Structure 1
Amino acid sequence: MDLEKIAFILLKARAFDAQEDVVEPDYGSNAEDDQFREVLEAYEGDATHSELVDAINDLNWDEQCHLVALVWIGRGTFDADQWQEALSEAQDGHTNHTAEYLTGIPMLGEYIEEGLSAFDISVTDIEMQNL
C-alpha cells in the first residue's frame, strides 16, 4: 500500500475526528466573528469530511482492503501478526461503502496511526522519506 496515501488519509481523519458536533447551526457570515466555527464544527457540506471520503474512494479495491485491515489492527480487533487474517476478512467483507464505513468509526485517525505503529511505521517516517 502507498504510505503517502495512508499518511494523507490519516491527516484528514485526524482533522475530521477533531471536529465537534454543531452547536449553533446558523452561524453568521463572517468567519472571524464566528471564531471559525465552520472549521471546528461538523457543518453539513464540510470540506474535511468530503476530502477524507474522496481520498478513501480514490483508493483501489486492494488499497481499501488494506486500509480497513490496518484500522482493525489499530483498534485491537486483530494483532499485527494476524495481518493476513485481517486482510482476508476485509477482502471478504468489502463493499462499495468503504468510505462511509471508515468515516463512521470514531477515532479513525488514531486507529490508523496505531495500526501503522503496530508495524513500526510512523507518519514522521513517511514524511521524511518524501522530502
Structure 2
Amino acid sequence: MFEPPFDSAEIEELVLRFSAVMAKEATDISDLGGNPTDDEVAETLQETRGDLSRAEITQEIESMNDEQKDALVALFWIGRGDAEPEEWEETKLLARQQHDGLVSHYLLGQPEVGEFLTEGLEKMLEYGVE
C-alpha cells in the first residue's frame, strides 16, 4: 500500500509553486522598449536576480528528510510513467540509490514536473493509501 511521508495538500501546494517557477523564463531582453505598461507583463514572466521563488522551492525541498525526497522523486517517476504504483517501495529505493546532487535541482530541471507530480499522486491515490 501507498503510505506517503506527506499529505496530498502538501504535494498540491508544491505543484503550485513548481508551476509558478516553471512559468518563468530566463531574462533575455535587456531593453524591453516600447510601452511601459506592456513591459510589466513581460517582466513578471521573466526570472530576475532578486526573484526568490526558485530559491524558496529549492530550500523547501532540500529541508525535507531523505524519505520525503525519495517519495517526491518516486511520485514524479510514477507520474511520468517510468514506474507503476505497485512498485512504490522499489521506486523509492531506486530514487535513493540514484540520488546525485540536489533533488530540487533535478526536479526543477524537468519541464513538466508539476504535471507529473500531480499524475503520480493521482495514480497512487487510485492504487490505495494506508
TM range (shorter): 0.7 to 0.9
Aligned to 2:118: 113
Q: Distance in 1 between matches of 2:30 and 2:123?
A: 40
Measure the CA separation in 1 of the matches of 2:32 and 2:51. Answer: 14
When Rg is computed on C-alpha atoms for both structures, the one with the higher figure is: 2
Question: 1:25 touches 1:43 (CA, 8 Å); kept in 2?
Answer: no
Distance 2:104 2:91 in 1: 18
Q: Quote the Cα distance in structure 2 between the aligned partners of 1:95 and 1:87.
A: 14
3-state DSSP of counterpart to 1:119: helix
Deviation, 1:64, is 0.5
- 1:46-67 Cα offsets, whole Å, 9 max, x none, are 3221222121112111100110
Runs of 4+ in 1 over 4 A off after TM superposition: none
Task: Report the Cα distance in structure 1 between the residues aligned to 2:62 and 2:50, rounded to whole angstroms.
Answer: 17
- Of the two structures, which has the highest relative contact order with CA contacts closer than 8 Å and spacing of 6 or more? 2
Q: Which residue of 2 aligns with 1:46?
A: 51
Q: Percent identity?
A: 32
Contact 1:18–1:40 under 8 Å retained in 2 = yes
Amino acid in structure 2 at the alignment position of 1:88: L
Find out whether 1:78 has 2:83 as its counterpart.
Answer: yes
Q: Which runs of 5+ in 2 are unaligned?
A: none
Match of 1:64 in 2: 69
Normalising by structure 2, report the TM-score: 0.77
Aligned Cα root-mean-square deviation (Å): 2.3
In structure 1, list runs of 5 or more residues that go unmatched: 122-131
The residue type paired with residue 6 of structure 2 is: D
Distance 1:48 1:38 in 2: 15
TM-score for both structures, normalised by structure 1: 0.76
SS at match of 1:5: helix
